[in-house]
């Protein structure tokens, strides 16, 4: 008899790569309810629209949609308040709070971890380029210290960790002292397949946040004068537009079909930040397009220089300009089909199979221990 499963996610008030992973967990386990702190149903991706989503008491807080960041210290309490009694398998999808969920007696808790809480453990780098009031900057460090203490104290609640990349696996080991299996997030490769020659533009697909280092791309292309299209929205949008030359177009948020068309038409995707994994490079690869990425983070797992992209080594506009000029020179002969083959290694079907096998192995081991009490002591 299959176990009773619950899925736990940090919050469902914005849609990004993590929420697409939750949607795939929902495909794998459609009967499993999704527990979370808050949900904004108006922004849910279609794959989650019909899911059984159960938010915490935070959903009733006044003005949470506008002020959800101001309730920062309440998220741990909200996650711990979720009633998960009766579920035999808890799958937490966590970059912040969900891994702190309390399981019922005898349950198995597996955390699919995007990163240990970034704003708690990498506060200086995370906040360096954020625009905050003087008062807020004065209050925030004390709150972050409390969150860091909670995050460390709850590191043992998951029985197993799965990391989304090698760099996240290493971070889990360093911060939590826990081992983690690496299973890369799913990419819907077929959705981004486009077979046509590239047009004369480069592409950025990203949330417009300061830590994404889109300022490097804007600076580099303002100097180069080459066409750059930027897809996405976020708090850094206005400052980036002020910095940009006339050759840079900001397209905002667009639909998936239109996004796939832009991937298919670009010369290359520009990926200037350090990401825990990074879905956009693989989406571009699925369209047969190479990636120019900063040499760090999850890109080290997915980019093979000369096969599906190339790196720039320094976090500077000058280093990025040099990499773009290498691609413009034509010295690297990228083959669209070979690039797509790289992307297929990360397809959603591969993710589903690896998750099924991993969980089946864990549950099999647990049941074997239940049958053999002597083995439990090993």
Which residue ranges form the domains of the chain, and what is each CATH number?
5-186+347-376 (3.40.50), 190-344 (3.40.50.2000)
Residue 373 has what pLDDT? 45
Phi, psi at 202, each rounded to 5°: -105, 165
Look up the pTM and report it. 0.86
Which pLDDT band holds residue 375 (cuts at 50, 70, 90)?
Answer: very low
134 pLDDT above the threshold of 60: no
Residue with tokens 């799965």: 162
Whole-number Å distance between alpha carbons of 60 and 44 = 19
Which pLDDT band holds residue 247 (cuts at 50, 70, 90)?
Answer: very high
Residue 14 has what pLDDT? 86
pLDDT digits 0-9 by tens, 57-70: 999 999 888 888 88
Residue 138 has what pLDDT? 60
Burial string for 239-277 (b: 16+ CB within 10 Å, else e) reads: bbeeebeeebebbeeeeeeebbbbbbbbbbbbbbbbbbb
pLDDT digits 0-9 by tens, 301-340: 999 999 999 999 999 999 999 999 999 999 999 999 999 9
Which pLDDT band holds residue 374 (cuts at 50, 70, 90)?
Answer: very low
Residue 378 has what pLDDT? 29
Mean pLDDT of 106-134: 77
Q: What mean pLDDT value characterizes the chain?
A: 91
Whole-number Å distance between alpha carbons of 351 and 183 = 7
Residue 141 has what pLDDT? 82
| Residue 376 · residue 369 · CB < 8 Å | yes
Which pLDDT band holds residue 136 (cuts at 50, 70, 90)?
Answer: low
376 pLDDT above the threshold of 50: no
Which pLDDT band holds residue 173 (cuts at 50, 70, 90)?
Answer: very high
220 pLDDT above the threshold of 60: yes
């Amino acid at each position: 008899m299959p176990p009773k499963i619950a899925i736990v996610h940090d919050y469902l008030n914005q849609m990004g790569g993590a929420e697409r992973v939750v949607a795939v967990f929902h495909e794998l386990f459609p009967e499993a309810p999704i527990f979370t702190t808050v949900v904004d149903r108006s922004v849910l991706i279609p794959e989650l629209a019909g899911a059984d989503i159960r938010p915490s008491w935070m959903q009733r807080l006044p003005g949470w949609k506008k002020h959800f960041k101001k309730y920062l210290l309440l998220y741990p309490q909200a996650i711990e308040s979720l009633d998960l009694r009766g579920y035999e398998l808890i799958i937490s999808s966590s970059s912040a709070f969900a891994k702190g969920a309390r399981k019922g007696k005898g349950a198995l808790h597996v955390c699919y971890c995007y990163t240990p809480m970034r704003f708690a453990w990498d506060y200086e780098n995370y906040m360096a380029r954020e625009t905050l009031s003087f008062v807020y900057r004065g209050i925030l460090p004390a709150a972050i210290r409390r969150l860091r203490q909670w995050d460390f104290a709850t590191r043992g609640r998951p029985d197993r960790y799965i990391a989304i990349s090698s760099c996240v696996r290493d971070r889990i080991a360093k911060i939590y002292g826990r081992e983690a299996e690496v299973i890369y997030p799913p990419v819907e490769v077929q959705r981004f397949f486009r077979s046509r020659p590239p047009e004369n533009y480069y592409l950025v697909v990203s949330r417009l946040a300061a830590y994404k280092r889109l300022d490097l791309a804007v600076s580099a292309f303002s100097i180069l004068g080459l066409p750059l299209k930027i897809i996405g929205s976020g708090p850094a949008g206005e400052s980036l537009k002020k910095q940009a030359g006339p050759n840079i177009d900001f397209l905002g948020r667009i639909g998936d079909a239109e996004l796939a068309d832009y991937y298919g038409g670009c010369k290359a995707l520009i990926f200037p930040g350090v990401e825990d994994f990074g879905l956009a490079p693989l989406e571009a690869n699925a369209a047969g397009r190479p990636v120019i990425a900063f040499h760090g983070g999850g890109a080290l797992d997915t980019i093979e220089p000369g096969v599906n992209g190339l790196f720039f080594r320094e976090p500077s506009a000058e280093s990025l300009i040099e990499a773009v000029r290498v691609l413009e020179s034509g010295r690297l002969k990228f083959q669209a089909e070979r690039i797509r083959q790289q992307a297929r290694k990360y397809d959603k079907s591969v993710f589903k199979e690896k998750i099924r096998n991993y969980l089946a192995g864990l549950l099999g081991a647990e049941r074997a221990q239940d049958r053999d009490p002597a083995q439990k002591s090993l």
